[in-house]
């Protein structure tokens, strides 16, 4: 008689992992648990005294080069922030800056407008400002963030940084949600434009990882007047007294044209990215469900924060082209990114080109206006829109197939063997006032790419501070 152990061991070997995975899926379907996992905002080093962000000198900054302060959002959350002076500008005013006494507040500045640092930003007509939106987990001084701040502020005496911790991160109040982080981005832009008085053409929106989604929605909100949240402007700037379901900004406010939107290690949308995501590059999250598409769709429908950057880029490029406005987009990714696959940039690039095609075809270019289908039945309107979408998709596929290769410069950065893993490229797409630039580098991973030369160069290029050959890859 065959021993029952012969069946028990294989059953346990299969059943236990399946049971654990099923429990994991059940837990992450709970919004609170899901957001805790996605944002990882409680994973930080604030419990360790040396990581007190009110002491920026511990991360290699000069005395009082950084001003720690707070912003208020329209829903009364308090965001912790850093204003970082460019190193060259700091050197010119070192004695006066270092003489500021911040000892009584432990380094924190309750009124940044009274500081010399702020005045050097506000009163300089040549000052540029990078609004820096970091990725998930940690806080403003964790991981590679201080090194990336150093990289950006050392290339020009004109480039300042405003970096924030989103709600629930670091010393900021609240808990993160998509709508909440959108309000956080608005608080940062409103502070930059209305308190610091920096015109949008001297502002770059820069995001890394999760921050790419936040930067993209900030660009969408201010550049073409559409958002996925509603409500008045931040307390740091003009207020819109209406709060309706249109999810649009105050139409009396002129759309802004930023110097650029720079996305490093970006993803197209959270559900799409998670469907192929692996923790540390080897432990799959939802990928096993691809064998059961119906189950994958079910699980993906439970993702509460969508972060659909590809659709937002479509809206941005469509609005810019149809209105004759400028829009400058740069996508930077490393091929060896183990966290967010580099092919996510292809989806974002496609989304941006799709907006140009829709504008060319006249698809939905009148935001908030008539779509010309008022006299049709609901069923007929849906049929017409589906047919229109199919036409757009075919047009996008055609234009990418015929044109992208012509606009791409390639280079292999290894031993000359031209292995695919060592291939980098730059694709530059111009269409009237819209520029879309995609850069792929073989190395840099998910984090280190942030302080490699491509990122500071992209910022300099957006600000018009460097004239770089289009084929440059290192």
Q: What pLDDT digit, counting tens, does each position of 296-348 carry?
A: 677 777 788 899 999 999 999 999 999 989 999 999 999 988 889 899 999 99
What pLDDT score does 9 carry? 59
What pLDDT score does 233 carry? 34
Q: Examine residue 5 and state whether it is found in any structural domain, yes or no.
A: no
Average pLDDT over every residue of 181-186 = 96
Q: What is the SS3 assignment for 263?
A: strand
- Rounded CA-CA distance 452/144 in Å is 11
Q: What is the SS3 assignment for 371?
A: coil
Q: How far is CA 235 from the centre of its chain?
A: 23
By the 8 A CB rule, do 79 and 71 touch? yes
Burial of 460 (0-12, 13-18, 19+ CB in 10 A): buried
Indicate whether 285 pLDDT > 60.
yes
What pLDDT score does 126 carry? 94
What pLDDT score does 282 carry? 61
How many residues does the structure list for the chain?
474
Q: How confident is the model at residue 230 (pLDDT cuts 50, 70, 90)?
A: very low
Q: Examine residue 383 and state whether it is found in any structural domain, yes or no.
A: yes
Choose between 289 and 337: higher pLDDT. 337
Q: What is the CATH number of the domain that holds 199?
A: 3.40.50
Q: How confident is the model at residue 6 (pLDDT cuts 50, 70, 90)?
A: low
Q: How confident is the model at residue 242 (pLDDT cuts 50, 70, 90)?
A: very low
Mean pLDDT of the chain: 83
Q: Examine residue 294 and state whether it is found in any structural domain, yes or no.
A: no
Q: What is the DSSP string of 106-122?
A: TT--S-GGGSHHHHHHH
Nearest to 156 by CA among 105, 203, 109, 86: 86
Q: Which of 99-103, 134-138, 232-236, 394-398 has the lowest mean pLDDT?
A: 232-236
Q: How confident is the model at residue 254 (pLDDT cuts 50, 70, 90)?
A: confident
Q: Examine residue 391 and state whether it is found in any structural domain, yes or no.
A: yes
Q: Examine residue 116 and state whether it is found in any structural domain, yes or no.
A: yes
CA dihedral 259, 346, 269, 22 (to 10 degrees): -150
Q: Examine residue 395 and state whether it is found in any structural domain, yes or no.
A: yes
What pLDDT score does 368 carry? 45
Q: What residue numbers bound the domain in which 211 lies?
A: 40-274+305-325+336-365+375-407
Q: How confident is the model at residue 237 (pLDDT cuts 50, 70, 90)?
A: very low
Q: How confident is the model at residue 149 (pLDDT cuts 50, 70, 90)?
A: very high
Q: Examine residue 349 and state whether it is found in any structural domain, yes or no.
A: yes
Q: Examine residue 113 and state whether it is found in any structural domain, yes or no.
A: yes
Total domains present in the chain:
1
pTM of the model: 0.86
What pLDDT score does 327 carry? 95
Average pLDDT over every residue of 167-178 = 95
What pLDDT score does 303 carry? 83
By the 8 A CB rule, do 150 and 119 touch? no
Q: How confident is the model at residue 367 (pLDDT cuts 50, 70, 90)?
A: very low
By the 8 A CB rule, do 428 and 435 touch? yes
What pLDDT score does 187 carry? 97
Average pLDDT over every residue of 121-129 = 96
Q: How confident is the model at residue 35 (pLDDT cuts 50, 70, 90)?
A: confident
Indicate whether 248 pLDDT > 70.
no
By the 8 A CB rule, do 127 and 202 touch? yes
Q: Which of 102-106, 204-208, 307-311 has the lowest mean pLDDT?
A: 102-106
- Rounded CA-CA distance 145/140 in Å is 7
Q: Within 13 A of 41's CA, how many CA atoms are on the CB side? A: 22
């Amino acid at each position: 008689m065959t021993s029952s152990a012969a069946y028990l061991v294989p059953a346990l070997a299969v059943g236990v992992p399946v049971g654990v995975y099923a429990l994991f899926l059940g837990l992450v379907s709970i919004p609170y648990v899901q957001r805790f996992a996605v944002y990882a905002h409680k994973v930080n080093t604030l419990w360790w005294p040396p990581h007190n962000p009110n002491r920026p000198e511990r991360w290699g900054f000069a005395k009082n080069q950084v001003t720690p302060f707070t912003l208020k959002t329209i829903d009364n959350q308090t965001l912790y922030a850093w204003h970082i002076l460019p190193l060259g500008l700091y050197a010119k005013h070192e004695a006066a800056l270092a003489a500021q006494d911040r000892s009584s507040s432990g380094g924190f500045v309750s009124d940044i407008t009274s500081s010399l640092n702020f005045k050097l930003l506000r009163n300089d007509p040549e000052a540029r400002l990078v609004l820096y939106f970091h990725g998930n987990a940690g806080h403003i001084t964790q991981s590679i963030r201080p090194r990336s701040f150093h990289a950006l502020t050392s290339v020009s005496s004109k480039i300042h940084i405003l970096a924030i911790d989103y709600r629930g991160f670091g010393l900021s109040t609240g808990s993160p949600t998509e709508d909440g982080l959108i309000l956080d981005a608005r608080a940062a832009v409103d502070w930059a434009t209305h308190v610091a008085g920096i015109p949008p053409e001297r502002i770059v929106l820069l995001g890394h990882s999760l921050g790419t989604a936040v930067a993209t929605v900030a660009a969408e909100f201010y550049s073409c007047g559409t958002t996925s949240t509603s409500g008045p402007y931040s307390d740091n700037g003009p207020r819109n007294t209406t709060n309706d379901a249109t999810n649009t900004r105050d139409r009396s406010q002129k759309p802004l044209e930023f110097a650029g939107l720079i996305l490093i290690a970006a993803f197209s949308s959270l559900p799409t990215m998670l469907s192929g995501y692996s923790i540390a590059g080897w432990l799959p999250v939802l990928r096993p469900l691809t064998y059961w598409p119906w189950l994958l769709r079910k699980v993906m429908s439970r993702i509460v924060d969508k972060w659909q950057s590809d659709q937002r880029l479509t809206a941005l490029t469509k609005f810019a082209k149809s209105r004759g406005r400028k829009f400058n987009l740069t996508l930077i990714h490393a091929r060896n990114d183990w966290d967010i696959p580099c092919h996510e940039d292809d989806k974002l690039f496609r989304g941006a080109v799709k907006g140009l095609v829709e504008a060319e075809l006249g698809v939905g270019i009148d935001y908030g206006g008539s779509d010309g289908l008022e006299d049709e039945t609901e069923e007929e309107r849906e049929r017409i829109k589906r047919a229109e979408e199919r036409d757009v998709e075919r047009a996008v596929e055609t234009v990418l197939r015929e044109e992208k290769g012509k606009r791409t410069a390639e280079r292999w950065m290894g031993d000359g063997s031209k292995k695919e893993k060592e291939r980098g490229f730059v694709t530059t797409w111009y269409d009237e006032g819209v520029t879309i630039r995609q850069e792929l580098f073989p190395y840099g991973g998910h984090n280190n790419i942030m302080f490699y030369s491509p990122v500071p160069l992209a910022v300099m290029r957006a600000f018009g501070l460097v004239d770089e050959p289009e084929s440059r890859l290192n």
